[in-house]
Amino acid sequence: MSNLKITCVIVDDEPMALNLVESYVEKTPFLELKKKCSSAIEAMEFIKNEPVDLLFLDIQMPDLTGLEFSKMLPKDTRIIFTTAFDQYALEGFKVEALDYLLKPFDYAEFLAAANKASTWFRLVKGNQQSLLSEEKEFLFVKSEYKQLRIKLADVLYFEGLKDYIKIWLKDNPKAVLTLMSLKSLEEELPETKFMRVHRSFIVSLKNIEVIERSQIIINNQRITVSEQYKPKFLAFVNNNSLNT
Predicted local confidence at residue 147, as pLDDT: 86
Q: What is the pLDDT of residues 21-45, one digit of tens each?
A: 999 999 999 999 999 999 999 999 9
Q: How far apart, in whole angstroms, are the C-alpha atoms of residue 211 and residue 189? A: 22
CB 65 within 8 A of CB 39: no
Predicted local confidence at residue 91, as pLDDT: 54
Evaluate if pTM is beyond 0.75: no
Residue 149 pLDDT greater than 80, yes or no = yes
**CA distance to 57, 149, 196, 199, per residue, from 70 (Å):** 9, 36, 33, 29
Residue 5: CB atoms within 10 Å: 12
| Residue from 126, 101, 96, 124 nearest 112 by CA | 101
